[in-house]
A and B are shown apart, each in its own frame.
Chain A
Amino acid sequence: MTPLVALLVIGSLGAAGSAWGLSRGERAARLTATGGVIALILVAVLALALDGSPGTQGQPVDQSLFAGRLAPNGYLRLVVALWAIDALLITAVAAISDGLDGMRGVLPATLIAIVGGTLAFAARDLTLAAAAAGITGLAAMVVLAAATGPGVVIAGARELRVSLLVPALLIGVAAAAPVAASIVLRGVTAGADQIGIGDEAGGALGLLALASAIVIAMRYGVIPFHVRVPRLADAVPRLSLPLLLAWIPLPVAVVGLAITDRVITPLALPLDGERSIVVVVVLISLAATALGAFFQDDLRHAMGYVVIADGSFALLGIAAFDSEAWGPARTWLVIVAVSKTALLAWSAVAEARFQTRSIPDLRGWVRGSPILAAALVVTTAATFGIPGWRAFTARADLASLAVDTPWSWLLMVAGLATLPTYLRLLVLGAGTATSTVSRATPERIARAWRPEVLPIERERTSAASTRGEVAATAASEAGRATEEVAHDTGGHDGEGGEPDDRSADRTPPPDAAPIETTGPEGATGRRTADRAAAATRRAVDRAHRLAVAIRRDRAILTASAVLALAIVAALTSSGALGIAAAATEPTVIVSTQSSD
């Protein structure tokens, strides 16, 4: 079994299993959630094990499927690995924040989307790629199926509309574009008497290029298709937004760009009108969504507009009608995915910790959340980059390839229009804390004093009962002590509005954990079964203690996960992961008529 097959099978099984089990709850949910996480890890490992060497035109490469119609490549390897790593971190945040409920919907949808995306990136047939990319969007329906609330149906209707229109349009364009291109080529070859037919076909190709741009715009929510995004943000769990807004559009955009790059761009047609339309749409979308994000008070909506703004920049890859735009456009798409994942994860964690979606209510958030603040700073750097970074270069290349100066400078400036939104969040966070922020759990580790508990042997007490009593005593002492400390400090957990776990927890502290009984075990005559039971009890106890510790320290753990996402984004954006080389790989198509 090749790594590509294994990846597809494991991803599909993990998705099916977690979708089934997480909806049932209890033991099935725990088991299948664990299985889903293991599947995600395996997907990441298998993605890295894929053969990333690009194949040559018309020749199947190693590890290919279906006579070369599906074949791994460097871009697939990098993107799927990044997707799986990001998904693991998001899943960890969901599990820490909301337990199994947080993973319901998100985990299976992520696995399904990764499988769909893998098929789209691996496909060497445009129709196959279009179908796979388009249908990847239906992963959103899995998230919505697990969600509850009054907006689920209307958001689901909007999402279904986009998710099925996109494959329908892409399949149609993928079928029609080679025919129109063929007519243009034959018209030129046949002579002057056929030029009229070629011109008509050229006009049709322009319309098909616009259709490709519309497909990408619909998926990212570019204006005028933006209404769907805030409604979706309202209806779904906050930690599903990185998948729905940042990752799912990626395969669609890559396939849309591939159709243009492979079929339309080589003809060098005079498509200035189409180019102007796309550039104007991008400019309007950049300006309007940046303004919307800046003045928006709803955190989820603001983040959604930021994603739209960055996603709309990818349309310049089509507007360029230049084969040189292929690499920068695909680079930009990956940078958008990873950087917006970090941003949306930051948003989700901030919303959970401070229990508000109101941006004004987040004033002062930085003071108690230095790691989260660092994550936002790194995310900002990953989004905009610095000269020399791939993010910066890709943005500049797309702008300069799409239009000449001074319009390219205008596009560059418009591309920076979302920067004030990031700065607003940071400046606001440095202000005086609101009561909403003040009562939330800080990130810093302020461990309560824990009493040192020594084993006590009482007279006429067996070793077994001594163990239980000592543990109970330790728990009681530790609980009482932490309760007092928590009471003194007024500790309150913002997530869920429950009392702080440090005060609510009655389990013994780690330093009192492995309490040894007195007397040699051999002397007590304990049987093997007793030892096994004790070992099991200890393991369960340790697991319980770990769960309590994770829940107690979830503020710092979730912030650290967001920082890790931001670092991944920064590494991608800087080019350290080799995104530029992978993105500039040529499209290799072996089985469709467009290859001629």
Chain B
Amino acid sequence: MTIILVFLAVVVAGAASVTVSAQQPRLAALGVLVAMAGSAYIADPLPDLVAIVARLTGAVLAGYLIWVSLREAEAPTAGWQIGWPGAAAIAVAAFVIGWLAATALGGDLATVAGEGPSATGVATALADGSLVPRAGIGAAAALIALGAAPVLIARDVLRLGSGLLLLLSAADLVRHALVAEPDRVVELGMAVVVAISGAAVAGLVHGSLKHYGDLVIRPGTGQRFAIRHRSADEAHPRRARPDLAE
């Protein structure tokens, strides 16, 4: 099972690369769906069956809503200018860094494990040397590295939304790696969060297509209502001047 979960972490990082580099909007949506769904299961021990089903449902619902919202999107989009090889290279580098950082953290936890007041209940799998949380943190690092650019310098709403969903999945991976064991209620909550987040991204994509016919973010389009200058009240005298009255 450990090998499968480590492989799943690699798949998640690969899906994130596809998400940010794809020029076909629906391919990007597929990538983010795989990343969201996969990141729910990279945990040691695995969540229980109810939590697994809930997380899968939440991820699929989110991905489906984004998929549907892209029905009228014109392909292709700009994608990431560095292309999929660049994205893959960033993902591999971040994955390795994350893995090494997790190994160091696990070593620290194992070194200072003692009789202290916090001797139990924190990142037990990581402290025990399990490969799953290391792979999880590696995948989280890859998702953060790939998702940060579209979020900070967003050019279209799909890339922005995909980047945000990748960051949310990264937070989920970190959580799974650092908790003692997955909690069913929290997993249910995260399933709802993922589904609602996907719905929000789909709503924004739909709104962009509806208003502009494409996915491009146009800065400055919201400023026309703002009051920029002081108005001259003298142009609107309170009482009409007698000489102008008819």
> Which A positions have Cβ atoms within 8 angstroms of B?
66-67, 69, 119, 125, 127-128, 131-132, 134-135, 138, 141, 144-145, 149-157, 160-161, 163-165, 167-169, 171-172, 174-176, 178-179, 181-183, 185-190, 194, 197-198, 200-201, 230-231, 234-235, 297-299, 301, 357-361, 363, 432-436, 438, 591-593, 596
Residue of A at shortest CB range from B212? A153
B185–A66 CB distance below 8 A: yes
Which of chain B's residues have a CB closer than 8 A to the CB of A174? 175
Q: Lowest 8 A-B CB distances belong to which pairs?
A: A151-B222, A189-B116, A435-B236, A182-B118, A298-B227, A164-B164, A186-B112, A593-B121
The stretch from B1-9, B24-32, B48-56, B192-200 touching chain A is: B192-200
A160:B170 contact, CB within 8 angstroms: no
Contact B221 A150 (CB under 8 A): yes
Cβ-defined contact, A138 with B200, below 8 A: yes
CB distance from A188 to the nearest CB of B (A): 8
Q: Mark B182-214, 1 if CB is under 8 A from A, else 0.
A: 010110011011001100110110011001100
**CB interface residues, B 169-188, toward A, < 8 Å:** 170-172, 174-175, 178-180, 183, 185-186
Chain B residues contacting A358 (CB-CB under 8 Å) are: 227, 230-231
Q: Choose, from B10-18, B74-82, B88-96, B154-162, the stretch at the interface.
A: B154-162
Please determine whether A156 and B172 come into contact, CB atoms closer than 8 angstroms.
no
Interface Cβ pair total, 8 Å cutoff: 216
| Interchain residue pairs with CB less than 8 A apart (27) | A119-B189, A128-B185, A128-B186, A135-B192, A141-B204, A151-B223, A152-B207, A152-B211, A155-B222, A157-B157, A157-B217, A160-B161, A161-B151, A164-B165, A165-B167, A169-B171, A186-B113, A186-B118, A197-B111, A197-B112, A198-B112, A299-B227, A301-B227, A360-B231, A432-B238, A435-B237, A596-B118
Asked if B122 and A182 sit within 8 Å, CB to CB, the answer is yes
If A135-B196, A234-B225 touch, whether A596 touches B112 (CB-CB below 8 Å) is no
Q: By the criterion CB–CB under 8 Å, are B230 and A360 in contact?
A: yes
Residues on the A chain within 8 Å of B180, using CB: 593
Task: Give the distance to chain A from B238, nearest Cβ to Cβ, in Å.
Answer: 6
User: Which residues does B use to contact A, with CB under 8 Å?
Assistant: 105, 108-109, 111-123, 151, 154, 157, 160-161, 164-165, 167-168, 170-172, 174-175, 178-180, 183, 185-186, 189-190, 192-193, 196-197, 200-201, 203-204, 207-208, 211-212, 217-231, 233, 236-238
Q: How far is the CA of A181 from the CA of B109 in the complex (A)?
A: 11
A157-B118 Cα distance, complex, nearest whole Å: 42
Quick one: closest A residue to B235, CB to CB?
A: A435
Q: How far is the CA of A198 from the CA of B112 in the complex (A)?
A: 9
Interface contact B233-A151, CB-CB below 8 Å: no
Inter-chain contacts of B203 with A (CB < 8 A): 141, 145, 156
The CA of A276 and the CA of B228, in the complex, are separated in Å by 35
Q: How far is the CB of B44 from chain A (nearest CB, A)?
A: 15
Among B115, B120, B122, B236, the residue within 8 A (CB) of A436 is B236
Chain A contacts of B120 at CB under 8 A? 596
Q: Is the CB of A190 within 8 A of B112?
A: yes
A363 with B233: CB separation less than 8 A: yes
Q: Which residues does chain A contribute within 8 Å of B164, judged by CB atoms?
A: 160-161, 164-165, 168
* Residues on A with beta carbons closer than 8 Å to the beta carbon of B233: 360-361, 363, 434-435
Cβ of B178: which chain A residues have Cβ within 8 Å of it?
A: 175-176, 178-179
Q: How far is the CA of A185 from the CA of B151 in the complex (A)?
A: 36
Q: Is B116 within 8 A of A361, CB to CB?
A: no
Contact of A181 among B118, B186, B238 (CB under 8 A): B118
Contacts of B185 in A (CB 8 A): 66-67, 69, 125, 128, 591
CB distance from B181 to the nearest CB of A (A): 10
